A = this chain, B = another copy of it.
Amino acid sequence: MRPTVKDVAKLANVSTATVSNVLTSKKYVSEELKLKIKEAMTTLGYEPNISARSLKVNKTFKIGVVVPDITNPFFSEIVKYIEKTINKSYYQLVLYNSDDKAEKEKKILDSLMLGIVDGLILVAPRLEETLLKRDYDFPVVILDRPAFDTASDITFIYADNFKGAVMIANLFLKKGYKKYICITGPEDVPNANLRLLGFRQALLNNGIKQENIEEYRAEFNFDACYSIMTELLQDYDPTQRKAVFVCSDIGAWGAIEAAKSKGLKIPRDIGIAGFDNIYFSRFIYPGLTTVENPTKELGQTAALVLLNKLNDDPDFSDHTVVLDVNLIQRESV
């Protein structure tokens, strides 16, 4: 049988309250007793029972993390850094995968409302705002999605998608491309819209005419972007000097393959840029020029903010954190 606080108390000749006090260090206990109690703990191999503590203090010591797809390197990197931070604390990371389905996301949220976690990190939720806006009775951090609800005390943390897109546009201009294509994601993905917006804005601001900007939408995956790209390249003439901003790295991979299979040389005949800078993008050929989405900062600050909220540290009250992005220049532009 595992030793309990009672066993420790008996061995150290004190009351269980005193043992608990050294455990929680909320009340002063003389050094003498403290020592004796700690000694008793080690000889018995005592470890507090989390369930009992949970019940009493009404905490679960669990943090829920909901990602659309743990298989997506962008998300798995975020989770990695969330994990690193959470597991330094007393909390445990409980993982949920929504399969990028709004419906499944909703089910997970429903179940999480029942007090089975103390806090929640929602990564790139696809649920519409009204369904996301709930009466949470625990702190919530939403990652990689622009803030929509300034009234609630949800914290929003996301990279500056608009700026990233601007950077790509500026690079295209600097490199002397003449026509500009944006292949962005579904309309219900706010970041997809922001990237498109930033890209268009920057081009217009630099005197590019709207007729030289083409805009398309495709799911953020290889195949969708591959096929839309092959279509666009139907009878492409390299002297047109087009540059394509595909709003996700994996989509850019598809675009690159489509261009390569048309016999085009990148970046000479056509420029292609991505967004996210997933780990594997450094390995493909030609090296993908992209915008770094700061997974480390995203994951880390999400976890830190949440942990601070859980310890109701006033430093981290409700707010929005916008992280800066970096342009990663490789060979594809």
Binding site for B on A (CB under 8 A): 2, 47, 49-52, 54-55, 58, 60, 62, 65, 69-71, 73, 76-77, 79-80, 83-84, 87, 92-97, 114-116, 222, 250, 253-254, 257, 260, 279-280, 283-285
- Contact: B279 with A71, CB < 8 Å? yes
CA of A35 to CA of B73 in the docked complex: distance in angstroms? 48
Establish whether residues A62 and B92, one from each chain, have CB atoms under 8 Å apart when the complex forms: yes
**Does B70 contact A96, Cβ atoms closer than 8 Å?**
no
For the complex, what is the distance from the CA of A55 to the CA of B58, rounded to whole Å? 13
Complex-state Cα separation, A70 to B115, whole angstroms: 27
Beyond A51-B54, A54-B54, A83-B96, 14 additional pairs, beta carbon < 8 A: A51-B55, A51-B58, A52-B55, A62-B92, A62-B94, A70-B70, A70-B76, A71-B73, A79-B95, A83-B95, A83-B97, A95-B95, A222-B283, A257-B283
Chain B residue nearest in CB terms to A282: B222
Closest Cβ of chain B: how far from A322's Cβ, in Å? 25
| Chain B: CB-nearest residue to A260 | B285
A280: which B residues are within 8 A, CB to CB? 280
On chain B, the residues within 8 Å of A79 by CB distance are 70, 95
Nearest 5 CB-CB pairings of A with B: A51-B54, A51-B55, A47-B114, A92-B94, A95-B95
CA distance A92 to B5 in the complex (A): 27
The interface residues of chain B lying within 8 Å CB-to-CB of A50 are: 60, 115-116
Q: Which of B51, B77, B92 contacts A71 (CB 8 A)?
A: B77
Provide the bound-state CA to CA distance between A236 and B153, in Å. 63
CB of A294, distance to nearest CB on chain B (Å) = 15
Q: Using Cβ atoms and an 8 Å threshold, which residues of chain B touch A52?
A: 55
Q: Given A94-B93, A114-B47, are A80 and B70 also a contact pair (CB < 8 Å)?
A: yes
Smallest CB-CB separation from A107: which chain B residue? B87
- Residue contact A49 to B97, C-beta cutoff 8 Å: no
Instruction: Give the CA-CA distance A120 to B160 in the complex, in Å.
Output: 39
Q: List 5 A-B contacts (CB under 8 A).
A: A47-B114, A52-B55, A71-B80, A93-B94, A250-B283
CA distance A71 to B71 in the complex (A): 8
A79 to B55, CA, bound (A): 29
Q: What is the bound-complex CA distance between A71 and B62, given in angstroms? A: 22
| Contact between B49 and A55, CB atoms less than 8 A apart | yes
Most buried by B among A60, A70, A222: A70
